[in-house]
Amino acid sequence: MTPTETAILMLVALGIVSVLRANRLADATCIGAFFWSHVVFVVVGILALPWLIDQPMIRLSYPFLHWQSITDTDLNRAVIVASGGVLLVLLGYTFIEAVHRALGAAPLRWGTLFRQHWFQDHQVGSLRIWTVTLTCVGVAGGLLVTQIGPVLSGILRGYLGGDIAAQYAAREAVQSLGRTFYLVAFNALPFLAVLGWLQYRLRPSSRSRLTGLLLFGISTAFLLGTFEKRPLVLFLLTMALAQAAGEYQRRRGPDQDEPIRGIGNLSQLPWIQLTLGLSLPLIVLATLYFLSTTLLQDYGFSLAAAGPLMGLVLLRIFGRLAVMPLFYVHYFPNLHTYYGLANVGLISASLHTPLYQDTHEVWGYFTDIEFGSGAIGAVTDFYAAYGWIGWFIGCLTLGWVLYMCDRWLAQLPPTTLNRTLWIMVLVFVSTLSQASIPRALSTYGGVVFLVLWLVLSIRVTGIPARSERPVVP
């Protein structure tokens, strides 16, 4: 089959399964977060490449990439790995769900996160939240102060003055702070901000509003200090979901205690809140691209910049993660053997073996750029690490894991803290579109979210009598 035919086949298959499994995919579930994050950020770009790869627009947009190395075979493989991997994950999810149902388990009900009544009287105390927050701020702030010069230069000369070199210099300076800073800025502070905001929306008061706004401001400030766009936009999307869920819970009627059972009730969800919440991150993303590219220098603050700016934003949203699977299927195993677990830092350190930096090596091969790296998702990592068999088994297994996560989250008592964990788990799952499972667990919140949840759950009392289960089952 030609790449175009393969892309059409995968597009039809994705369309069919998205309709057949709409009850799961159009809900706040792990499989929904995984499916749509991959479709939007990876699959759309991959499926468009057979038509666009020879177009001057694409080659001019990425002039530093060695497109001449890519063959039709590579295109076919990339389409199958990325799109077929998503279908396999959904197949694994559906299979284990069917087995669970056959064994007598109750089905997952649609709309649980929004529609199930939350325990509004059970909240984490402000003292505990601020103790954890100030500890995190102290650690991250202490590290950031050591690079305050480049950071201020990046803000004043970079963002405000349009000096792109100053922005990249500041970003490199912050990256030198190590993983601890990023774990706090990317994971811990956003978790606390979402928790504080949910508690404010459920029980509004001047004190809870101040707490929510301060936590939001602190997290936003540190994310801006990383000079990276994706984490900030992802955080704003997370806050939009938290705002919609919290506002819906606050305004819901007392007679709507059970989740609705079908997707036919989509109209009952807070779509205005969600739409407004989705618009803000896109505006912020466009603003950051305007300040961090030559558009400001070329057009100034002119309406003429609107067209190129929107084109750049769309190209980065749909194209940034789409090109790396194409390069990986060319590189492995033709130029390098499948790497297994050699790219996992913890295993490398434990076994005292060299760490294989796959993203740097592949990026350098296709760009000849000595700095920077690409990003791949869990599905592509399965293929590059273990080949086709590992890709097949890994995707099916991931579907099983996502199903078990959905069941576990739905069974937790509906407290504010547990619903915060639910939202942040969806964030973690969405990062699997641009990070392998080990990287996502160690860097993008997987472990940090669980640790914070456990810390904030310790010796918490006051759950209403209607639930006899503890916060931490």
**Residue reference for tokens 């060319």:** 330
Tens digit of each residue's pLDDT (9 = 90 or more) over 241-261: 888 888 777 766 544 544 444
Q: Which residue has the higher pLDDT, 158 or 405?
A: 405
**pLDDT of residue 272 exceeding 80:** no
Tens digit of each residue's pLDDT (9 = 90 or more) over 36-59: 999 999 999 899 888 887 776 666
- Which secondary structure element, helix H or strand E, spans residue 438, and what is its range? helix 437-443
Mean pLDDT within 127-147: 93
In 3-state terms, what secondary structure has residue 55?
coil
How many helical (H) and strand (E) elements, i.e. helices and strands, does the chain have?
25, 0
- For residues 432 and 440, the answer to whether their CB atoms sit within 8 Å is yes
Q: Which residue has the higher pLDDT, 28 or 278?
A: 28
Structure tokens at 39: 């479709």
DSSP assignment of 241-307 equals HHHHHHHHHHH--TT--SPP-SGGGGGGS-HHHHHHHHHHHHHHHHHHHHHHSTHHHHH-S-GGGHH
Lowest mean pLDDT across 13-22, 185-194, 225-234, 407-416: 225-234
Q: How confident is the model at residue 270 (pLDDT cuts 50, 70, 90)?
A: low
Mean pLDDT within 328-355: 89
**CA nearest neighbour of 384 among 93, 82, 67, 3:** 82
Mean pLDDT within 53-81: 80
**pLDDT of residue 62 exceeding 70:** no
| pLDDT mean across residues, the chain | 83
Q: Computed from CA positions of residues 291, 297, 302, 304, in that sequence, does the dihedral angle turn out positive or negative?
A: negative
**CA nearest neighbour of 437 among 89, 200, 92:** 89
DSSP letter assigned to residue 157: I
pLDDT value for 93: 96
**CA nearest neighbour of 268 among 256, 277, 280, 279:** 256
**pLDDT of residue 300 exceeding 80:** no
Tens digit of each residue's pLDDT (9 = 90 or more) over 397-414: 999 999 999 999 988 888
In 3-state terms, what secondary structure has residue 462?
coil
**CA nearest neighbour of 118 among 405, 417, 404, 421:** 417
- Other CB atoms closer than 10 Å to residue 466's CB: what's the count? 9
- Give 222's contacts (C-beta < 8 A, 6+ positions apart): 140, 144, 184, 185, 189
Tens digit of each residue's pLDDT (9 = 90 or more) over 345-372: 888 888 888 888 898 888 888 886 666 6
- Other CB atoms closer than 10 Å to residue 138's CB: what's the count? 11
Q: How confident is the model at residue 278 (pLDDT cuts 50, 70, 90)?
A: low
**pLDDT of residue 268 exceeding 60:** no
Chain CA centroid to CA 367, Å: 26
**Residue reference for tokens 């009287």:** 121
Considering the chain, what percentage of its residues have pLDDT values greater than 90? 40
In 3-state terms, what secondary structure has residue 188?
helix
pLDDT value for 393: 97
**pLDDT of residue 452 exceeding 90:** yes
Distances (CA, A) of 426 to 10, 30, 31, 45: 25, 6, 9, 22
pLDDT value for 274: 60
Q: How confident is the model at residue 423 (pLDDT cuts 50, 70, 90)?
A: very high
pLDDT value for 183: 92
pLDDT value for 22: 86
CB burial class (10 A; 0-12, 13-18, 19+) of residue 392? middle
Distances (CA, A) of 43 to 35, 102, 118, 334, 410: 10, 33, 36, 23, 28
Distance, in Å, from the CA atom of 343 to the CA atom of 385, rounded to the nearest integer, reads 9
Tens digit of each residue's pLDDT (9 = 90 or more) over 205-239: 899 899 999 999 999 999 988 888 888 888 988 99
